[in-house]
Structure 1
Amino acid sequence: MADAQPKKDRPNARFHGRVEAPGRLCAEPGCSEAGEFRAPPLQGTGRPGDGPPPFRWLCLDHVRAFNSGYNFFKGMSPDEIHDAQSPLAGWERETRAFNTTGGADRPPRWADFSDPLDAISARFRDKMKDRAERKDGKPLSGKDREAMRTLALEIDTDRTGLRQRYSELVRRYHPDRNGGDRGHEAKLQEVIAAYQHLRSSPAFA
């Protein structure tokens, strides 16, 4: 049987709440151990101005002693203790009323934005273009819209326009039209796949 692991002088460095800082000693008078555990100051947790509260740093033994003797209700009157123990404690503050006009906060007006480079407007137009519907009422699936973007087709393109655009792109990317250059084959395959999908789509029936 393997020998038991030797007991460490100090607890694991991952001990909950431990914050190591070389050279920082325990704040308990006369203690020479490292101060690695935060505790409230003796005079309370009041904040000096806008700064953080001046916490004390204690060693493990002294923070355990502090925790064992900690009394949340110390210094409170019976009425304050009763209020603190109420299930509704902390809920007495008035909350913000819900918006009854539209179910959400009113968005800023479009005129409130400055868009000299047309960045916001262009993005909005592209988004609306992807959601546009055909005038003939024929439905478009997500794959239909993706294929139409591949072929750079307008939303209301009909079957004749689809064939014309397909022929144009095939001539543009086919190696025979580019002196045998096969550098556009990947794009050509995308065009063929998009056309094959759209020609069987209800929108182009």
Structure 2
Amino acid sequence: MRQSRFHGRVESGGRMCNWPGCEEAGEFRAPGARLPGFDGPGDYRWFCLDHVREFNSGYDYFDGMSAEEIFRAQSPLHGWEAQSRAFRPDAGVDGTPRWADFADPLEAISGRARAHMRQRQADLKPENARFNPEERRALGVLGLEGDIDGKTLRLRYTRLLRQYHPDHNGGDHSRAARLQGVVEAYQLLRKSPALA
């Protein structure tokens, strides 16, 4: 596919004009029904020179937008809503990102950060201080807090063992990985000096 430098013409073999009843070669690209956005680049229609001119003369980018959306799209600040680090009062020296700096429609970044913050807060609790980081992760696997004793550990292990073991689930092995994690966490914690 070769593109003409100045005219927008894309020469390719076999593409026909999408205008109904036209038999000319479709060498000019026009926006399709699906516009570019979060889901990808969108699609295109291909027209001959006469029909792309006709299409462009009647094309309305703002068709279907509310007055507020049109105003936002026409704003000279469009795309500059987030304050850049260099112009913040702290100049971004704290090293932590602000959530306003990111567009996170699926909450992929913020969800992970919330889980990380919950883990850090749990690690700072005084009752968790007696366990090392690996043992704290094992407590998380078992769903326990740091204020446990050996008896509580055994009871929780027994309950999870019954919950995930294939013999108690009609031979269902879909939870085997979870069961293995529970067993490894219990083996680590039962040898912990914090529970001696």
Q: Same fold (TM over 0.5)?
A: no
TM-score range normalised by the length of the shorter chain: 0.3 to 0.5
**Which is helix-richer, 1 or 2?**
2
TM-score (norm 2): 0.40
Larger Cα-atom Rg: 1
